[in-house]
Amino acid sequence: MDEAVSYTDYFVLLSGANTRQTRAIAEEIQQRLRSEHRPARVEGEREGEWILIDYIDVVVHVFTTAARDFYRLETLWGDVPRLDVSGEG
């Protein structure tokens, strides 16, 4: 991302099956990183459709499948190098 924007180096995009799962994913990320890193801000936890966790150099986006399909950040930032770590492709 650092080639395209100045405010972060990486976007991490994740999907959950529903809002309950996206909240659980976001909570787990924050819990595991808490001892070393605190987010500058967290948005969308209440709604759970799109949760943004901003660690400054890394911005984590946790979407429901429907929200990820709707916002299509992969398409918006399509010219930025991509690393797929899902194990599915």
The domain spanning residue 29 has which CATH number?
Answer: 3.30.460.10
Does any domain span residue 88?
no
Residues forming a β-bridge with 59: 11, 54
Q: How far is CA 16 from CA 19, 50, 66, 73, in A?
A: 7, 10, 9, 15
The predicted model scores a pTM of 0.82
Residue 37 lies in a domain: yes
Q: Output the pLDDT for position 53.
A: 97
Mark out the alpha helices in 17-58 (DSSP H runs).
19-33
> Which of left, alpha, beta for 57 (phi over 0: left; psi -120 to 50: alpha)?
alpha
Q: By residue range, what is the domain housing residue 17? A: 10-76
Is residue 82 in some structural domain?
Answer: no
Q: Is residue 61 in some structural domain?
A: yes
Whether residue 30 is contained in a domain is answered as: yes
Spans of the chain, pLDDT less than 50: 1-2, 89
Q: Please give the pLDDT value at position 1.
A: 43
Quick check: is 72 in a domain? yes
* Lateral strand order in the sheet of 41-43: 10-16, 58-64, 50-54, 41-43
Q: Does some domain include residue 87? A: no
Determine, yes or no, domain membership for 64: yes
Total structural domains in the chain? 1
Tell me, what DSSP letter sits at residue 25? Answer: H
